[in-house]
Amino acid sequence: MADYFNSLPDGWTIYVWLIAAAGILIGAGFFLRWAVKNFQFDEDIKYLVFDETDKDKMSDEDYQRAKKVTEEQEALRSKVLKKKAEARAAKHAQR
């Protein structure tokens, strides 16, 4: 195998690096697309760790924001679960 690599002309390793870089960029694009489709870039996620017992630890503005974010997330969760159930029902109907 070493003889084969030694017989290649100079500069062949750059093509290996270019292929590796293209693979990394394609993989990064794939995972970014997944993250966007699965709501991974939500900056209000920090409010979801709070509940009613934490009211005294937050300002009124933060508490209202936490309640609003929790309601939005519950609505989004219901929407996603409904969509998955519909897709599952459609898949079973095709059989």
Q: What is the mean pLDDT of residues 44-60?
A: 82
* 61-78 pLDDT tens trace: 888 888 898 898 899 889
Share of the chain above pLDDT 90, in %: 39
> Distances from the Cα of 85 to the Cαs of 1, 38, 40, 79, 88, in angstroms?
54, 17, 22, 10, 5
Domain boundaries along the sequence of the chain: 14-94
